[in-house]
Structure 1
Amino acid sequence: MSLTLHRPAILQQLRTETRPYHDALEQNEFNRALQADSITAQATHRFLAKLYGFLVPYEAHLRQHGLGPEWQPELRQRAHLIPADLGVGATALPLCPTMPPLETPAQLLGAMYVLEGSTLGGQVLARQLGKAGIEARTYFSGHGEQTGPLWKSFCQLLGEAATEDNQAEIVASAAATFQTLHAWIEKP
């Protein structure tokens, strides 16, 4: 007997409708340097500092929404890993002053799609940084062996939470999250 995994329709919609924003974000200086095998510790540190500045306010919204324990919100908060990777105190890192709207559950789910999905790509980045001899990669390691299962759990929960009434808001929030994060990363 073969097991067929159910892939919620919202995932395909998110993937399709946010692809241009995802692709644009991936063209940042850090990713270009990785692709060109010219990554430096300085570029890695700058990118991590920018991620931290975005994650701190995002994670504050994540805590405020009071997601149920099935979402494992405490495991999905990873900003605290970045100052250790950088060897600096958290107060030394700037915070993103403008976040996408994260007031409704649907808006939070759209943002979560972006940031939870980044844990999968982060593992690839961690391997590339390791090959380049760059130590600052704890954040990129995601949840280690639990990264895949946590992503699958998120996708299942997202599929259950998505309705005809909130799907457009989820997708719009994911797009806004990609765009806001991209603008923040590109800001000097």
Structure 2
Amino acid sequence: MARLRAATRDHHRTLDHHPELQRLLRPGLTRHGYARSLAAMLAPHAALERAVWQGGQALGLEYTLSPRRAPRLIADLKALEGELGEGSDRASAHVGHDAAGADLYAFPTVSCPAQLLGLRYVLEGSRLGGEVLARAIRRALGNDAPVGFLADGEARHHWESLCACAERDLRTRALEESAIESAQDAFVAYRAGLNPWKLT
């Protein structure tokens, strides 16, 4: 995992510094701003989960996968729907279609366990990072803020499961390179997916 982490550090940092994610950590966060950022994450996150689950099922490895969080994101958005102002109709349609447009983002197609692990690295990393964001959002908006998507509660468990799979599936340098390429592409695709969502 050390090589995977080092090789994707810049990609990870670029995603983390996207304005839609940085908004959640800046002083003065409002419920409106929180809703905007969640709306931006919906389609790319759903697309990443879909790519992971399709790959896991194709390889017979779905038993290793963590539960999807897109339904929680949708529930949080519904709780915040009134905060989106002029963009509320668009958000309603987006939520109602269960992350419509999620296939627009070019997440890698999985053909081996190493590629699946690369995608899972991004997905489970977002679960860990979500715990940090959830604490910041509760500080800014109060404990009643809907954070079901971010406050998973099982992030550490799923990360440790991923690390165990890495020990099993990344036994050669070639397999590590396959996982690295998959993870890098996933970081790029997720960031690209954040860009189209613009609410006025």
Match of 2:86 in 1: none
Instruction: Give the Cα separation in 2 of the matches to 1:93 and 1:178.
Output: 18
Give the number of equivalent residue pairs.
174
TM-score by length of 2: 0.77
Q: Please report how far the alpha carbon of residue 92 of structure 1 lies from its aligned counterpart in structure 2 after TM superposition.
A: 6.7
Partners of 1:169 and 1:136 in 2: how far apart?
37
Question: 2:182 aligned to 164, 173, 176, which one?
Answer: 173
Unaligned runs of 5+ in 2: 79-91
Instruction: Give per-residue Cα distances to partners, 1:100-131, cap 9 Å, x unaligned.
Output: 21222322211110110111110010011111
| Moved >4 Å (runs of 4+) | none
**Could you tell which deviates more after superposition, 46-55 or 75-84?**
46-55
TM-score normalised to structure 1 length: 0.82
AA aligned to 2:177 is A
Amino-acid identity (%): 26
| Aligned counterparts, 1:1-188, within 5 A | 11-64=1-54, 65-66=56-57, 67-68=60-61, 70-71=63-64, 73=65, 75-87=66-78, 88=92, 89-91=95-97, 93-96=99-102, 97-105=104-112, 106-133=114-141, 135-142=145-152, 144=153, 146-164=154-172, 165-187=174-196, 188=198
Instruction: Tell me the distance in 2 between the aligned counterparts of 1:82 and 1:35.
Output: 18
Indicate if the aligned counterparts of 1:49 and 1:94 stay in contact, CA closer than 8 A: no
Deviation at 1:152, TM superposition (A): 0.7
Q: Compute the RMSD of aligned alpha carbons.
A: 2.1
- Give the stretch that moved more between structures: 151-160 or 44-53: 44-53
Structure whose residues are more often helix by fraction: 2
Structure 1 gaps, min length 5 = 1-10
